[in-house]
Every structure is written in C-alpha cells, then in structure tokens.
C-alpha cells in the first residue's frame, strides 16, 4: 500500500478531503509574475492547485529583487515563466504547469485563451493590457480577481478584497473604472484587491529611469514600493481564489 503524501496534510485538515480534491482538479491562470503575481503563484502551488498556467513576457531585472519572489542575484536575466515553472514543480511535482511566454494585449488574447481555466488572476501592471484582459474575461464569463495598485502604499491594514466599484484612494483603480464603464461593463461584478490608504508621499517616491528594451533615451515613471505590501496583495488574491474554488458546488 502506497503511503499518502503528507505534502498537503495541513491544507486538507482545514478544508477537508472534498475541498482538497477541488483544489487538485482546478486550473488557475496567473497573468503577470512580478511582485504580486509571483506570490499568487507561490500560494496556489503550496495550496495544491492541480493545474497552473503561468503567463509573462519578461525577464528578471536587478531592480526586481526588492519585492519579487522569483528575483534573486542568481536569477537576474532569466525568464520569469521558466523560473516560476521550476519553483512550482519543486513545491508540487504533481502540478500540471503550462507556461505562456507572451505579452498580453488585445491582439494576443485569442492565443491566451486557447483553453478555458477555472479562474484567472490578473496581476498585470500596465493600464491598457489590463483593461483589455478584464473586458475579455467578462465577455467570456471566466471568474477572475484583479490586482489594483500596490506601489506607493505602506499600510497593510488598508488592503481590501472587494468589488472594483467600491475601491477608494487608488489611482489605477480610478482609471480602470473610468475605462471599463465606458465599455459598458458592470463594475459591481468585478472583484479585486486594492488599498484604500490615503498616501502622503515623499518627493523621491516617483522617479524616472531608463526603460530596458526600449530605444536609447526612452524613460518611464517608476513608483516606490515595499515587498511586504506587494506580497500581501498577492497572497490576498490567492486566498480569495482558493476559497472560491473550495466553496463551489
């Protein structure tokens, strides 16, 4: 008789055998493997999700080390999708991992959804791709949770899971609400994690830096962030997805 694995013993103790089986049968897609998405993947893998689709186009930069779980001195320059795949399989060798090394936008959405996952986590930090993704997920009726802005925040007690329509003091959420409302989407049916912290920023919190991969001289705005806040965003999203999967009949 083969001894039952102890890998997810404590998860099953809390959620029950039926709940554990739901997690093992579920497929979750995580789009964006950076500061928020990396911690989403970590929690989902350790919870025993059976199938993970990991989506990103980027490689690790040294500036990622302050907040991204996949970013180490030894991984600078490596593809985030491959790093995430190896980490998931080291946590749970039985997980069925698919990677999509791609940039998500309106043109690539058909390729992204060649199959339909049970749940999608939107951890994209760019406004236009994020809005295109949310609109497509709503159109297809795929359950999802979206991350709002974690940068510039420092009070963990202000992080909330709830409806996009109820978010406050989040510039990213404000822009997204405006765009999606114009596209006719019901904001009360879109769930996200956000912070309602009213920030008082030092002058150094927003700065300009060279944008890797762009033409010489091209710069972008960079926002200060803490590893604690981005990690809590990711773990809160993963927790919401886990609970939703387990509660489904």
| Contact indicator for 83, 101 with CB cutoff of 8 Å | no
Give me the pLDDT at residue 208, please: 54
Tell me if residue 206 falls in helix, strand or coil: strand
In this predicted structure, what is the pLDDT of residue 223?
81
Look at residues 39, 81, 87, 41 and name the one whose alpha carbon lies nearest to residue 60. 81
**pLDDT for the residue numbered 233:** 98
Provide CB contacts within 8 A for 31, sequence distance 6+: 37, 55, 56, 104, 112, 120, 121, 122, 123, 124, 133
The class that CATH gives domain 9-247 is alpha beta
Let me know: does 185 contact 138? Beta carbons within 8 Å.
yes
Task: Judge residue 110's burial from the number of C-beta atoms within 10 Å of its C-beta, 0-12 exposed, 13-18 middle, 19 or more buried.
Answer: exposed
Q: What is the pLDDT of residue 155?
A: 96
Q: List residues bridging with 227 in a β-sheet.
A: none
pLDDT of residue 224: 85
The beta-strand segments (E) located in 7-71 are 27-31, 51-56
pLDDT along the chain (249 residues), means of 10: 78 97 98 98 98 98 96 98 98 98 94 95 95 97 97 95 97 96 95 93 60 49 88 98 95
List of residues 6+ apart from 106 with CB closer than 8 A: 132
pLDDT for the residue 211: 54
Instruction: Say what the pTM is.
Output: 0.92
């Amino acid at each position: 008789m083969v001894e039952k694995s102890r890998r997810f013993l404590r998860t099953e103790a809390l959620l029950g055998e039926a709940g554990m089986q739901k997690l093992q049968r579920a497929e979750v897609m995580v789009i964006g493997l950076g500061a928020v998405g990396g911690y989403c993947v970590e929690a989902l893998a350790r919870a025993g999700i059976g199938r993970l689709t990991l989506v990103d186009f980027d490689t690790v930069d040294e500036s990622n080390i302050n907040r991204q779980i996949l970013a180490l001195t030894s991984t600078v320059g490596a593809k985030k999708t491959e790093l995430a795949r190896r980490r998931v399989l080291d946590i749970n060798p039985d997980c069925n991992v698919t990677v999509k090394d791609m940039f998500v936008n309106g043109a690539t959405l058909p390729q992204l959804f060649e199959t339909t996952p049970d749940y999608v986590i939107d951890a994209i930090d760019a406004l236009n791709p994020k809005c295109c993704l949310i609109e497509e997920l709503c159109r297809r009726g795929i359950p999802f949770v979206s991350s709002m802005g974690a940068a510039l925040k420092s009070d963990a007690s202000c992080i909330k899971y709830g409806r996009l329509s109820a978010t406050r003091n989040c510039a990213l959420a404000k822009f997204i609400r405006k765009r999606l409302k114009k596209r006719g989407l019901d904001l009360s049916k879109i769930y996200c994690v956000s912070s309602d912290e009213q920030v008082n920023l030092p002058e150094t919190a927003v700065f300009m830096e060279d944008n890797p991969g762009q033409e010489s001289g091209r710069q972008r705005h960079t926002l200060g962030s803490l590893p604690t806040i981005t990690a809590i965003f990711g773990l809160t999203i993963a927790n919401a997805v886990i609970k939703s999967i387990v509660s489904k009949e």
